[in-house]
Copies of this chain bind each other. A is one copy, B any other.
Amino acid sequence: MTYRAPVGDIAATMKSVVGLEQAIAGGLYGDLSMDVVDAVLEEAGKFASDRIAPLNKVGDKHGTPFKDGVVTMPPGWKEVYTDWAAAGWNGLMAEADYGGQALPCLINAACLEMWNAASGAFGLGPLLTQGAIEAISAHAAPELRAKYLPKMVSGEWTGTMNLTEPSAGSDLAGMRTKAERAGDGTYRITGSKIYITYGEHDLTDNIIHLVLARLPDAPAGTKGISLFIVPKFLVGDDGSIGGRNDVRCNSIEHKLGVHGSPTCTMVYGDAGGAIGWLVGEENRGLAAMFTMMNNARLAVALQGVSIAERATQQAFAYASDRRQGRAPGYTGEGMGPIILHPDVKRMLMTMRTYTSAARAICYMTASEIDRAHLGRTEAEKKAGNLRASLLTPIAKAFSTDIGNEVASLGVQVHGGMGFVEETGAAQHMRDARIYAIYEGTNGIQAIDLVTRKLPLEGGEVAKAEITRMRAVAAEVAKVNAPGFGRTSERLVAAIDSLERATDHLLAALKSNPADALAGATPYGRLFGLALGGTALAEKGLAVLGDDPHQHVAAARFFAENLVPAASGLELAVTGGGDGINEINVQLAG
């Protein structure tokens, strides 16, 4: 089944939840107009649906065979990638100085969603390149920027991020890759890195690796890590491609999903040391990585939305076609389509509304990142930065968790056909599984939320979010439209739960940090449910005149069927931690 970019829902989210029209009117986005936004979304949707989506299954089946150091990308991928880059999509958010379009993060977010929904494995390469562009833009010396950025922004070269080593996953303190000063201002890098996405491929002429490594005299731990540019092929001062650097792909992983994306083990310095150029200051590499962390986490959050959207579209299409039994009220001849069965409706609406809720949370986050960069006052920038910081781990964990759940429901809607690879439903489930893991596992997102984001401004950032949600719930109560059913009542209960859980955690952070850590994951989910439910209600409020409207029905479904989980999550946060921390867990194995 073909992916259709959900341009309508994307635009509705930008307008009703994010307030894009007001932001444009208020001047936040300079001379950007809604017409330009609509045109960009339309064109991106077309490219994603028409050109990228057909690559998805090919990529899954063909994979990226590795032989003699060479990775061969799936058939048709290079042509589409080349056309995509030539159309300027790779540089959407990059600075105009280097050939970028300098469009806001919010617009880029919508496009990221569409590329990745069309094919997550295809979208992953550009996503890594974008991260590398940001790190180089923000931290590298002018001559490095001038040398590398134009071709990375145009998409002629791709970028990678080399963090993980076998014994250094989430805890980077254990990193062992070495960097030595060569005396001429360059460095020699030796070591191995694992899980390097698009570490090797044949889409482009060069690959620019960003590599974290330790200098011989570096302090122990994460304060002794430096960041280097290590190009696959050395680059002349005129931008010409020279000799091969001392870096190679040693193997690729056999993965559960995203088979079209090569995940490489990279070996640096087999022949004495790969030539590297320092990005930023020595021993400050992690800081350079952290500046791009929020954006990368948002990008992965959007991958969660994208796979949920893709799986949802496929499930709706299948359920409309497939006939089994006769649902209550079905009056046609013979068996009716399964989409009419209440239990199938429940599954489909769960998929649809989780997806829309996650989209709304991601777009809110993107718009706050824009406010942090473009704000017209320091106060506005700070407010944007704080809210983006709070929302980012929620966006990442919630969107990628529901990505898994929605893709799994998509298999369920297909029945036995879902377990057969032919239909593609199973591929979505396999592809979705990595999003909750990479770029910081969702457990780490939850811990980030509770231990670093919740205490921001003494808890006031979280409290302000709660106040904002209460206003939406009150507005739903005020309009008192029958189509909303119990939406307001359920939202208020969830927000109450969120507030009590927030108070509990703020206190626990001081008195009993292990209790706060134990409650982090259910707390993140609780926050996402309340936030997502509020966002769907805002979309419903915006279209109330057209009752009965799908956005109202969606808000109601979500509030009545999924938001009630909030109370159980609250109890897990406030009453589950002591037991967890008292357990001698090894005994339970």
B-contacting residues of A (Cβ < 8 Å)? 164, 167, 169-171, 173-174, 194-195, 253-257, 313, 316-317, 320, 323-325, 328-329, 335, 339-349, 352, 404, 408, 411-412, 415-416, 418-422, 426, 429-430, 433-434, 436-438, 441-443, 446-447, 485-486, 490, 513-514, 517-518, 520-522, 548, 550, 553-554, 556-557, 560-562, 564-572, 575-589
Contacts and interface: CB of A to CB of B under 8 A. Distances in A.
A80 B194 CA distance: 38
A574 to B, nearest CB: 10
* Dominant secondary structure at the A interface: helix
A588 B441 contact: no
User: For the complex formed by this chain, how many copies does it contain in all?
Assistant: 2
A195 B416 contact: yes
Contact of A320 (B256, B418, B589): B589
B342 A416 contact: no
A348 B568 contact: no
Contacts of A253: 419-420, 422
Given A447-B343, A564-B568, A557 B586 contact: no
Given A348-B588, A575-B486, A589-B320, A343 B568 contact: no
Given A317-B589, A446-B343, A589-B320, A438 B426 contact: no
Most buried by B among A256, A349, A579: A579
Contacts of A565: 565, 568
Nearest to A417: B169
B342 A419 contact: no
Given A349-B585, A437-B415, A324 B170 contact: yes
Contacts of A416: 164, 169, 194-195, 437-438
Given A256-B419, A429-B256, A586 B437 contact: no
A7 to B, nearest CB: 15
A518 B419 contact: no
A344 B446 CA distance: 12
Contacts of A486: 575
Contact of A553 (B335, B566, B575, B588): B588
Contacts of A485: 575, 578-579
B442 A412 contact: yes
A513 B565 CA distance: 24
Contacts of A576: 346, 557, 560-561
Given A346-B580, A556-B579, A580-B342, A412 B430 contact: no
Contacts of A344: 443
Given A548-B584, A560-B572, 20 more contacts: A194-B416, A255-B419, A328-B513, A342-B517, A343-B443, A343-B520, A408-B408, A411-B433, A412-B442, A416-B437, A418-B437, A419-B434, A486-B575, A490-B571, A550-B587, A550-B588, A561-B572, A561-B579, A562-B572, A564-B575
A341 B517 CA distance: 8
A345 B583 contact: yes
